[in-house]
Amino acid sequence: MADTPTAADRLDEFHQRALDHTRASLEHMARYGIEPEGRVALFLPPDARQQEIHRMPYEHAARQVVTYTTEPGEFTALCPFSGLPDSGTVRVEYVPGSWLLELKSLKYYLMSWRHVGAAQEDITALVFEDLMRHLDDPHRLVVTTDYTVRGGIHTVCSVDSRDQPSGRRSQPDRPDSAGLGTEADGASGDGAAA
């Protein structure tokens, strides 16, 4: 069992990854003349978040609005400038197409942001892109993050699928798993024109 990493090995890997990403983030900020104030702490890159969110089929003709809202402070990520936690609520509102999000999996996904350092606006956009990718074809998706006031500023970020450029409802590099074309090339995947 020498090939199985030990807990200490995993911790070393976690620490090195956090150190590398924090150093790269500080270098990125410095290019724009931004120096972090106060103490700098380690944080992970956004790609360290959970990548899978389970889903279940939605098999009804009725269009319904599904809303999930975390309790205040349940969602946290780390400020890339200070390493301090940014906490707040996440509200997901969607009208399902073919799929529903499985709640326990969504909860674990949201918890996976806890050690990630990223700007609040970036996190909101990434959560939207992740949920859009997993829902595949919702009629509407809105992700809103409402952060606890820090430094006297209350930040609310929202990404709405209805406000996205035509034909770009999700990540531009989303694979076309059905082989029926993508919205970007004019086919919606359901036989209708985009």
3-state per-residue secondary structure call for 20-81: HHHHHHHHHHHHCCCCCCCCCCCCECHHHCCCCCCEEECCCCCCCCEEEECCCCCEEEECCC
| Annotated catalytic residue within 86, 130, 146, 157 | 86
Q: For the stretch 151-166, what's the b/e string if a residue is b when 16 or more beta carbons lie within 10 angstroms of its beta carbon? A: eeeebebebebeeeee
The two tokens of residue 129 are: 């892109």
Which has the closest alpha carbon to 86: 77, 94, 73?
77
CA–CA separation, 90 vs 76, rounded Å?
10
157 is known as an active-site residue: no
Of 9, 79, 176, 190, the catalytic one is 79
Is 136 one of the catalytic residues? no
* C-alpha separations of 15 from 18, 46, 76, 118, 147 in Å: 5, 15, 19, 17, 27
Whether 22 and 81 have beta carbons less than 8 Å apart is answered as no
- Cite the active site residues: 79, 86
